[in-house]
Structure 1
Amino acid sequence: MPLYGPGAMMSRVRIMPSQAQSTGETVLRFLAAGVANTAVGYGIYLVAVIAGAAPQLALILQFVLGALWNYQLHARMVFAVEGWRRLPAYIGSYLLIYAANALALRLLLAQGVGPLVAQLVLLPFVVLASWLLIGRVMGFRHRGVRR
């Protein structure tokens, strides 16, 4: 059991989903994990912007600091995946989501929307993209059948 890092706390979490859970259960677990991940991620972004970081730098910090924690939360709590085998594909999904988020953030900022409101507006789209991409990477078929 790791003593430090993203796996330290997650190794103590015992909310492992069943391999046979329904799509509805998976969606609820994903949303619960998403609330936690979003709160932490937006909190990082908020603190970075208030501390004087440029919005794009704050977004980088938000994604980098959250990636390993989010992987463990999704793997263990939502999709019943053990180990780190899917981490590279998960990071790839994360980078794709980041790129789309960064572009959309830039467009909103160019329209005069403030950085805190702009990222808040983008959150629902980031959540949907995350469900589609991360669910696929973690082996969840969106028609209710696991791989």
Structure 2
Amino acid sequence: MTGEFRRVLRFLVAGLVNTGFGFAAYAAFILLGAPLAVAVAGGTVLGFLFNFLSYGGFVFGSTSYRLLPRFLLFYATLCGLNLLLLHALSLFGAGPLLSQAALLPVLAVYGYLGMRFFVFRGQASQVAP
């Protein structure tokens, strides 16, 4: 098994963990009685920081905070791409849930490549095989 293949597997595992953490953070705010906007904002901020640490540390071997601006910029482009593709699929009559499910592989590939070659470029070789 190559180092790059292992890195991709770690990326997928981190993605699953990140999804669970983001939902748990959002749910915690809701269960504590926070207004919806606070729950979404709080869950997003905590999820963003958690994702940076999990992808950076577990997948790419770097959690240097100097990479946070690139991570934020990349996440903004990922969000924009997601919205653009969802809108495009809706023009063909696809519903939002089916569209998002269909886009998951595309967004995962874009996410991996963006983090590998933009956010954590030069850091990836530091991950143990």
Question: TM (normalized to structure 2)?
Answer: 0.68
Displaced runs of 4+ in structure 1, greater than 4 A? Answer: 38-41
1:87-126 to structure 2, matched below 5 A, reads 87-126=68-107
Is it true that 1:79 corresponds to 2:73 in the alignment? no
C-alpha separation in 1, matches of 2:14 and 2:121: 17
Is it true that 1:146 corresponds to 2:125 in the alignment? yes
Moved more, 122-131 or 104-113: 104-113
Q: CA RMSD in A?
A: 2.9
- Corresponding residue of 1:23: 4
C-alpha separation in 2, matches of 1:95 and 1:76: 21
1:40 deviation in Å?
Answer: 5.6
- Corresponding residue of 1:67: 48
1:39 deviation in Å?
Answer: 5.3
Q: Which has the higher contact order (CA 8 A, sep 6+)?
A: 2
1:100 deviation in Å?
Answer: 1.1
1:63-111 Cα deviation digits (max 9, x unpaired):
x813222111101111111331101001111111111111000111222
C-alpha separation in 1, matches of 2:10 and 2:76: 23
Residues 109, 115 of structure 1: 8 Å contact kept:
yes
What residue identity is the alignment partner of 2:103? L
Structure 2 residues not aligned, in runs of 5+: 28-39
Structure 1 residues not aligned, in runs of 5+: 1-20, 48-60
Which of the numbers 11, 33, 37 marks the counterpart of 2:14? 33
Q: 1:76 to 1:85 in 2, by over 3 A?
A: same
1:119-138 to structure 2, matched below 5 A, reads 119-136=100-117, 137-138=119-120
1:50-73 Cα deviation digits (max 9, x unpaired):
xxxxxxxxxxx69x8132221111
1:32 deviation in Å?
Answer: 0.9
Question: TM (normalized to structure 1)?
Answer: 0.61
Identity over aligned pairs, percent: 31
